[in-house]
Structure 1
Amino acid sequence: MKSIYYSICLLFISFITFAQETNVDETLANAKREVEKGNYDKALTLMDPLRAKYPQDEDIQTYTGRIYSWKKDYKTAIKVLSPLTDRVNPNIEALQAIINVYFWSENFEKCNLYCDTYLAINPKSVEIIQIKATCLEKLNRDQEALELIEKASFADNSTQAFKGIRTLIGRKAKNAVSVSYLNISTSDPGQSPFHYGYAEYSHKFSKSAIVGRANIGNVSNETQMLFETDFYQTFSNKSYLYANAGLSTGETIFPVAKAGLEYYFKPYKKFEYSLGARFMHFDSDDITLLTGQLAYNPGIYSFAYRPYYDTSNELFSHVLSIQRTNEEKERIIRLELQYGNVPYLYLYNNFTQPLKAYRIGVQYQHRFGDSFFVRPIFLYEDEEYIPGQYRNRFNVQLIVTKRF
């Protein structure tokens, strides 16, 4: 009789235990469904009784900390997770959760320290190494980040996970040098090709940049030089100012003197816009161009429109561009459609006439390694060279840049 009684008691206890376990699993499943819907407060309401009933269950505590982090209540998330991470034998899942908390809250110093604790336990975690490298880059400890990436890439036999970080570090380079050659040829009828080239050096400061450029042009066996400077100044509201000034050694291939100013306003959502002007002084004439730009950037593509108005000759030109950018690889492909009187690259001379020109061009930028860029450019024009008469005009350019 006693054996039957004990058997019934054990069966009853087992049933209660099974019911409790089922209840825990069901509650966690319901909480996860609420998280997937973005209902973080409701999910936390479901988790609170479990935390109170099973305070030693680290999986429950860790998941609760994650919910607070997804809710962006980082302070509470740290309070929940810290007891599991700040001890001799930290919980590995809680460590990963608190690393995300500090990373998302942009506390990169703390995040970096917890990454070290995690990697002491699991040194081959590519995900945590990537987060640590990003923290180092944000802290401007770029050399440490690159050394970590090199070590991890060698061990993992892959650099794919770290290309974005390398790109961010590469863009911090303060200096760059570029050289370019441009050939302008015509046919039906043809004439001797024009040759242009330049060499430039640019340097970035914390909130500004300056570019020095020496241009050379050879047209009809005559050679002239143009020396110019570009200056960029950024402002705290993400707007910036562009200024240009130049002097030449001649009067025909290049203007005797030139100047430009354009203000790029603070972006509005996915739109960017600017207003500016260009002034060119020739020996026998002055030319003023009014310009501006409206650009729409929905993602990897950018659509832009830029008009030019020549106030002296009352001429309008229009440039429409579509550009696709791969930020990680710093790769660009750009299509341009142009109509009007402004020549390729806006190399204005004093032989301006109210003639039509239709243009289509493409350019491509490719990065080799971390800091070497090659940009080939081709633009075809159907050019009205005398009223009612058209010819072919081909613009071929190559730009090579090295940043350091």
Structure 2
Amino acid sequence: MKFLYYSVFLMLFSTAVFAQEVDVDATLIVVKNEVEKGNYDKALSLLEPLHTKFPENEDVTIYMGRIYSWKKDYKKAIEILTPMTDRSKPNAEALFAIVNTYYWSEQFEKCIFYCDKYLETDPNSAEILKIKVTCLEKLNRNEEALAIIEKAGIVDNSTQPFRGIRTLIGRKSKNAISASYLNVSTSNPGQSPFHYGYVEYSHKFSKSAIVGRANVGHVNNDTQMLFETDYYQTFSNKSYLYANSGLSTGETVFPVAKVGLEYYFAPHKKFDYALGVRFMHFDSDDITLLTGQLAYNTGSYTFAYRPYYDTSNELFSHVLSLQRTNEEKERILRLELQYGNVPYLYLYNGFTQPLKAYRAGIQYQYRFGDSFFVRPVFLYEYEEYLPDEYRNRFNVQLIVTKRF
């Protein structure tokens, strides 16, 4: 008789458990479909009766917390998840869910606290470590973030998941030193090469930056220097102002004096705009250039057009560029097509006349480690040096930069 009683009891119990599992699983399938459609309120209306009927089912409770997070009701999500995360034996899935909730709501200190709780049971979780490192970077606790990255690299011999964060931390470096050498050669007919170089130091403040640069040029057996200062000021609307000034020790290799000002407007959707003016005083003439830029950004590519108008000589010059940028690796590949008397970096000839010049250039930036950059530049010109007389002109430059 007892055997029959227990058999009936077990059968009824098993049937009830099976019915519960079917009820929960079937509802969760429908809820998942609604979530994928973004119908969070409808998904919650299906889950809440299930939660009331089976309050001990933590999978249902956690899913409710996740949905509230996805619909950005972070306060409600935390209220649901906290009882399962703050007990003596926390639920790992609930911990994972509350980590994301605090991260998405930008409560970074709290997020780090729950990351640490999760890491007590799974210290090598790449996803949680990445969230913690990101929170530390947001709080400017950069040394702690880098220490975690280095430790993670020792454990699994890779810091791949953290490359983007390392780049963000690297860009916060306040200082940089650069050095450059530029060789300008000609052929058919040829002449003695021109040699230029510079050393510069830059420092970033919270909303501005300043650059000091010493240029040297050796042209036609004459060596002169140009000392420059660049200043950048950013504004809250994401626009910024660029200013430049310089004085030289001579009158021919560089301008005797130069000033420039350019304002970069706040980006509008995928477009960037800028307007500027540059003034250069030579011993024999003064040059005023009006310039600006229109750029279109799409993903990692930027297509830009920049005109120059020489008001003194009534000359128009044009630059078309296509640049591909890898933000994570800080690599840049830039192609340029130029026409007219375009200033090559800091160089502009005071003896301008309406002669034609066609140019095609390429430059590439590569980062070694976290803070050392190399940028080779090559620009070919088909230059009309006398009316109807053309020659080849080659500009080859190397720029190396160390930030710290």
**TM-score, normalized by length of structure 2?**
0.96
Give the equivalent residue in structure 1 for 2:274: 274
Matched letter for residue 388 of structure 1: D
* Matched residue SS, 1:383: strand
Structure-1 separation of matches of 2:192 and 2:164:
46
**Which shifted more, 112-121 or 339-348?**
339-348
1:366 aligns with 2:366: yes
CA-CA distance at 1:14 after TM superposition = 4.8
Question: SS at 1:121's partner residue?
Answer: coil
Alpha-carbon spacing, 1:189–1:113, altered in 2? closer, same or farther (3 Å): same
> What one-letter code is carried by the residue in structure 2 that aligns with 1:25?
D
Deviations 1:173-224 (A, max 9, x none): 0000000000011111111111110000000000000000000111110111
2-structure distance, mates of 1:393, 1:399 = 20
Of 48-57 and 359-368, more deviation after overlay is shown by: 48-57
Distance 1:314 1:236 in 2: 37
Contact 1:35 1:43 in 2 (8 A): yes
Distance 2:334 2:43 in 1: 47
- Equivalent residue pairs, number: 404
Q: Residue type of the partner of 2:168?
A: L
- Confirm or deny: 8 A CA contact 1:115 1:132 kept in the other structure: yes
Deviations 1:87-145 (A, max 9, x none): 21111101011101111111111111111111111111111111111111111111111
List aligned pairs for 1:191-206, cutoff 5 A: 191-206=191-206
Change (3 A) 1:173 1:28: same
Query: Which secondary structure does the structure 1 equivalent of 2:352 belong to?
Result: coil
C-alpha displacement of 1:403: 0.4
Gaps of 5+ in 2: none
Q: Which residue of 2 aligns with 1:213?
A: 213
Distance 1:76 1:171, change over 3 A: same
Show structure 1 runs of 5+ residues with no match.
none
Cα pair 1:344 1:395 within 8 Å, conserved: no
Partner of 1:400: 400
Report what 1:317 is aligned to: 317
Q: Deviations over 1:250-295 (max 9, x none)?
A: 1111111000000111111111111110000111211100011111
User: What secondary structure does 1:238 align onto?
Assistant: coil
Deviation at 1:152, TM superposition (A): 1.3
Return the offset for 1:76. Answer: 1.1
Q: Secondary structure at the match of 2:22?
A: helix
- The DSSP-based 3-state class of the residue aligned with 2:115 is helix
Aligned-partner SS, 1:313: coil
The amino acid of 2:239's aligned partner reads S
What residue is the counterpart of 2:283 in the other structure? Answer: 283
**Alignment TM-score, normalising by the size of structure 1:** 0.96
* Separation in structure 2 between the aligned mates of residue 87 and residue 2 of structure 1, nearest angstrom: 41
Question: Partner of 2:390 in structure 1?
Answer: 390
Alpha-carbon distance between aligned partners in 1 of 2:128 and 2:7, rounded to the nearest angstrom: 52
Match of 1:83 in 2: 83
Alignment of 1:235-384 (within 5 A): 235-345=235-345, 347-384=347-384
Contact 1:259 1:280 in 2 (8 A): yes
Q: Pick closer, same or farther for the CA change 1:368–1:313 going to 2, 3 Å.
A: same
Instruction: Note the C-alpha offset of 1:349.
Output: 2.1
